[in-house]
């Protein structure tokens, strides 16, 4: 069920940014479609009509983009943080790029006004002025050609970021590469996920859901992380940290005691320690995977994604923790919303 309080990904509508070639084709088709008719009583009125149409069509295009710009400008810190590594130049640059395109609308409006005045003054030169207007207007638009292209490309990367569901309990499954994160999220939630034949298979944040009659739990499958400072991490590691920093209410940290991907237990524990250090208040449940092959701890949750061992217990534990979270979050509020479906 859709949560009413969802914060949608503000980059989704970046797909509305047109490329220069698309705008050019669209505008010229439109202005070519108007010709002499009863409303055009004198020859000089046709160029004026075309200039007016050009300017108003362009304004309408930019008006759509303005809404997108405002959404992005007021974006949740999660999305701002994502831009810092998913958009060349960062969030500030994204805002500047959008503003550059928005400003072109005003320039074209002024050009249109001036050329219409010129035509009224010198009616015989109306066709020359029309051509001059089109040349100068297209120059203004073309100046943003690279930026438009950059924004469209960025849309591909930014569009995949999840919506935010502030009123739903969110669990992030994290750990070193290839420890069984995607397998676990798939097993807990029934979501079909790509299970790796090699480390670093997961490159984006995937979402699965556990629901019961009372509430829902969002479970994030994240890219594997290494033991290194975040600034040195890959874009994929940064995505995992972004989830930890801004969205996760709870962390399931996976450890593969068989060290099957070559990350030793010591190494995996170092990753765990650095998460604890960076996020001292984050509740973390450490879970060992590959219990079908090896089990080294008797006081931790041990599961096998292959045989299903321990999965039900882990799921029940998460439901118990979620129940507590929902109780604490909503039971003392002014009105008691229906859990998970707000």
Ligand X SMILES: Nc1nc2c(ncn2[C@@H]2O[C@H](COP(=O)(O)OP(=O)(O)OP(=O)(O)O)[C@@H](O)[C@H]2O)c(=O)[nH]1
Task: Enumerate binding residues for Mg ion (CB under 5 A).
Answer: 181-182, 201-202
Identify which of residues 81 and 310 has a Cβ nearer to ligand X in the complex.
310
Shortest Å, Cβ 227 to ligand X: 14
Residue 19 touches which member of Mg ion, ligand X, none, C-beta under 5-8 Å by kind: none
Identify which of residues 153 and 292 has a Cβ nearer to ligand X in the complex.
292
Residue 189 touches which member of Mg ion, ligand X, none, C-beta under 5-8 Å by kind: none
Shortest Å, Cβ 18 to Mg ion: 36
Residue 310 touches which member of Mg ion, ligand X, none, C-beta under 5-8 Å by kind: none
Crossing angle between the packed helical segments 126-142 and 20-32, to the nearest 10 degrees: 160
| CA separation, residue 230 to residues 109, 225, 233 (Å) | 46, 9, 5
Shortest Å, Cβ 221 to Mg ion: 6
246 Cβ contact list (under 8 Å, min separation 6)? 76, 77, 78, 81
* Whether the Cβ atoms of residue 20 and residue 151 lie closer than 8 Å to each other: no
Identify which of residues 104 and 182 has a Cβ nearer to ligand X in the complex.
182
Report which of 263, 246, 242, 249 is spatially closest to residue 215, judged by C-alpha positions: 249
Instruction: Please state, in angstroms and rounded to a whole number, the distance separating the CA atoms of residues 88 and 203.
Output: 19
Shortest Å, Cβ 78 to ligand X: 21
* Whether the Cβ atoms of residue 257 and residue 294 lie closer than 8 Å to each other: yes
89 φ/ψ sector (left φ>0, alpha ψ -120 to 50, else beta) = left
Fill in the DSSP letter of residue 230. G
Identify which of residues 95 and 226 has a Cβ nearer to ligand X in the complex.
226
Identify which of residues 47 and 180 has a Cβ nearer to ligand X in the complex.
180
Residue 286 touches which member of ligand X, Mg ion, none, C-beta under 5-8 Å by kind: none
Q: How many CB atoms lie within 10 A of CB 290?
A: 22
Shortest Å, Cβ 202 to Mg ion: 3
Shortest Å, Cβ 338 to Mg ion: 33
Pairing of strands 284-288, 206-211: unpaired
Identify which of residues 9 and 289 has a Cβ nearer to ligand X in the complex.
289
E strand map for the chain:
169-175, 206-211, 216-221, 250-255, 284-288, 301-302
Residue 78 touches which member of ligand X, Mg ion, none, C-beta under 5-8 Å by kind: none
Residue numbers at the binding site for ligand X (CB under 6 A): 177-183, 195-196, 199-202, 224, 289-290, 292-293, 304-306
* Whether the Cβ atoms of residue 284 and residue 319 lie closer than 8 Å to each other: no
Residue 199 touches which member of Mg ion, ligand X, none, C-beta under 5-8 Å by kind: ligand X
Shortest Å, Cβ 90 to ligand X: 26
Identify which of residues 150 and 181 has a Cβ nearer to ligand X in the complex.
181
């Amino acid at each position: 069920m859709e949560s009413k309080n969802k914060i949608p990904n503000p980059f989704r509508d970046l797909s509305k940014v047109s490329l220069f070639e698309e705008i050019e084709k669209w505008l010229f088709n439109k202005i070519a479609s108007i010709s002499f008719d009863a409303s055009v009583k004198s020859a000089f009125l046709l160029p004026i009509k075309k200039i007016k149409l050009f300017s108003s069509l362009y304004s309408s295009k930019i008006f759509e983009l303005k809404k997108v710009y405002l959404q992005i400008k007021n974006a949740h810190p999660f999305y701002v943080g994502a831009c810092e590594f998913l958009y060349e130049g960062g969030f500030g640059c994204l805002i500047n790029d959008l503003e550059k395109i928005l400003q072109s609308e005003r320039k074209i409006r002024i050009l249109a006004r001036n050329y219409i005045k010129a035509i009224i003054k010198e009616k015989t030169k109306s066709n020359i002025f029309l051509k001059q207007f089109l040349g100068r207007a297209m120059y203004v638009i073309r100046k943003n050609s690279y930026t438009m292209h950059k924004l469209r490309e960025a849309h591909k990367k930014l569009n995949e970021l999840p919506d935010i569901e502030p009123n739903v309990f969110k669990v992030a499954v994290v750990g070193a590469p290839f420890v069984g994160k995607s397998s676990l999220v798939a097993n807990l939630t029934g979501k079909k996920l790509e299970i790796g034949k090699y480390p670093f298979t997961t490159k984006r944040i995937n979402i699965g859901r556990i629901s019961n009659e009372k509430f829902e739990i969002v479970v994030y499958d994240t890219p594997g992380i290494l033991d290194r400072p975040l600034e040195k991490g890959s874009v994929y590691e940064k995505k995992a940290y972004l989830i930890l920093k801004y969205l996760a209410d709870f962390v399931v940290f996976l450890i593969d005691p068989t060290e099957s991907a070559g990350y030793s237990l010591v190494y995996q524990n170092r990753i765990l320690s650095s998460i604890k250090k960076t996020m001292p208040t984050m509740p973390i449940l450490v879970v060992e995977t590959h219990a079908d092959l090896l089990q080294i701890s008797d006081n931790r949750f041990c599961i096998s994604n292959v045989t299903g061992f321990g999965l039900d217990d882990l799921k029940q534990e998460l439901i118990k923790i979620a129940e507590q979270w929902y109780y604490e979050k909503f039971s003392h509020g002014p009105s008691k919303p229906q859990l998970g479906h707000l």
